[in-house]
Amino acid sequence: MIRLTKRIFTSLGAHHEMPPVVAGMATMPSRAHTFPTAFHSVIGQVDRLYLYLDGHDAVPAAAKDDPRVVPILSRDVPGLQGNGKFLGLTLEKSDCLYLGVDDDIAYPRDYVRRTSEALTARQRRAIVGYHGSVLLDPFTSYAKSRETIWFAGALPKARHVDVLGTGTVMFDTEMLRFDVRTWPHVNMLDLYFALEAATANLALICLPRRREYLLPLEEHQSDSIYARLLRDDSVETALAIELRERLAKSRQARRN
């Protein structure tokens, strides 16, 4: 059993005790060329990483025998695909800071420290990340009716968004915890995650950063979630409409 430890970090001259940081990542064989770089960029910054291996017969060499890794083969927990990134929320019983990471992003060395400081500055009563979307009016299509804030682009100041990309999120599991196995669809993580956050009445914050603070290791893969979205966004559009309605009710409740 891995013993998780609390860390001490300094922010604005004050010392804070930080809960364990637990990451979740899903990967598949077609990402074999980007996975090692993504994995090594983040593993040294976390206490534990739940690794969902979609379609793998064995643990990839980059992660094999690392005591911080909890490998989950899809043959043991089938059908989750990218949703497996959040399976750790049901397996990790203690509260932690949960970090969603992707197998095609290179994370900087100060990523966990900087992101956790931003979360703590908001009393951990929000969800923070670096890739976001704002749903636009009039809203007709999830693929077309949104403003996207790309994780590799510069952002001079923090922005409230409607959706965060789950490959760059951090949140406190005391504020948000769910069972990803109950989601009706796979590979629509960002919208289902936004719906979970709206139900918990948690704001989604896209954090400021310089250009290329995070780096894409590959883009426009033919088997990516985004490529499928461009082919048919009908389900995502329906989910986004539901999200807009839920956000409107949440804002009204806060005003009352």
Give the distance, in angstroms, between the CA of residue 155 and the centroid of all CA atoms in the same chain. Answer: 18
Asked if residue 2 belongs to a domain, the reply is no
Find tokens 């690392």 and name the residue.
66
Q: Is residue 86 a part of any domain in this protein? A: yes
Q: Is 182 within the bounds of a domain? A: yes
Nearest CA among 161, 49, 155, 165 for reference residue 97:
49
Q: How many domains does the chain have?
A: 1
Per-residue pLDDT tens listing for the chain (256 residues)? 334 445 544 444 444 578 999 999 999 999 999 999 999 999 999 999 999 999 999 999 999 999 999 999 999 999 999 999 999 999 999 999 999 999 999 999 999 999 999 999 999 999 999 999 999 999 999 999 999 999 999 999 999 999 999 999 999 999 999 999 999 999 999 999 999 999 999 999 999 999 999 999 987 676 676 777 777 889 999 999 999 999 988 777 667 6
DSSP letter, residue 165:
-
CATH number of domain containing 124 = 3.90.550.10
**Rounded Cα–Cα distance for residues 40 and 62 (Å):** 8
Token pair 């206490």 is found at 47
Instruction: Please give the residue range of the domain that contains residue 231.
Output: 7-255
At residue 39, what are phi and psi to the nearest 5 degrees?
-60, -50
> Rounded to whole angstroms, how far apart are CA atoms 29 and 53?
8
What is the reported pTM?
0.90
The reply to whether 144 falls in a domain is yes
Instruction: Please check whether residue 37 lies inside any domain of the structure.
Output: yes
On whether residue 1 sits in a domain, the answer given is no
Cβ atoms 24, 52 nearer than 8 A: yes
